[in-house]
Amino acid sequence: MEFYEVIRTRRSIRSYKPDPVPEDVLRRVLEAARIAPSGSNRQPWKFIVVRDEEVKRRLVEACHNQSFIAEAPVVIVACGYNIHYNRGGYMGDMSMLVDVAIAFTHLILAARAEGLGTCWIGSFDNEAVKRILNIPDDVNVVALTPLGYPRGEGFSEPGPRKSLEDIVSVDRFQ
C-alpha cells in the first residue's frame, strides 16, 4: 500500500472481526515500532501484546468500559520507562511520552498498511492497567490499542480538517 494512502485512510476502528492476526503480520507491525527513532536512541518503551480474553476484559474496565477494545483479537499496550531527561527544559521524567508516541504511531501506521485496524486509547486508568499487567513502578502506560481486522466499512478518507494555512506558520508563530 502506498505510504500516503496509509496516512490518508488510517481511522480509529471501534468494531473488529474475531479473525486472528497472523504471527508474521503482528511481527511486522511490532518491528515498525521497534525501529522507530527516539531521543539519543534511548528506546524507552516496552510493548505488551495481550491475547488472553480475561485480561482483555479487565483492560476494558481499566479503559472506562470501552467494550470494543476486547472485540479485537489483540490489544497492544505501549509502556514507557521514565528516563529522567528534561526534554525541552520542562518535560522532566515524562519526556519519554514523545518517544513512545513516535513508536506507537509507527505501529499504528504499519497496522493500517497490513489492513489492520487500531484505535489509539488514551482514556485509561494508568494504575489499574499497571496492576492488571504487572507493570513496574518506574514504568507508565502511554497508550493502548486494539489490533484486528475491521468489521464493516473500516477505512475511509478523513473528515473535515483545518487548512494548512490554519496550522502552519513560516519563520515565526502567527
Q: Mind giving me the DSSP string for 15-67?
A: -B--PPPPHHHHHHHHHHHHT---GGG---EEEEEE--HHHHHHHHHHTTT-G
Q: What is the pTM of this model?
A: 0.93
pLDDT band at 87 (very low <50, low <70, confident <90, very high): confident
Domains (ranges, CATH) in the chain?
A: 3-167 (3.40.109.10)
Q: What are phi and psi of 152, to 5 degrees?
A: 80, -145
Q: Is the dihedral of CA 136, 116, 159, 172 positive or negative?
A: positive
Residue 92 has pLDDT above 80, yes or no: no
pLDDT digits (tens, 9 = 90+) for 102-156: 999 999 999 999 999 999 999 999 999 999 999 999 999 999 999 999 998 778 7
pLDDT score recorded for residue 94: 74
pLDDT for residue 20 is more than 90: yes
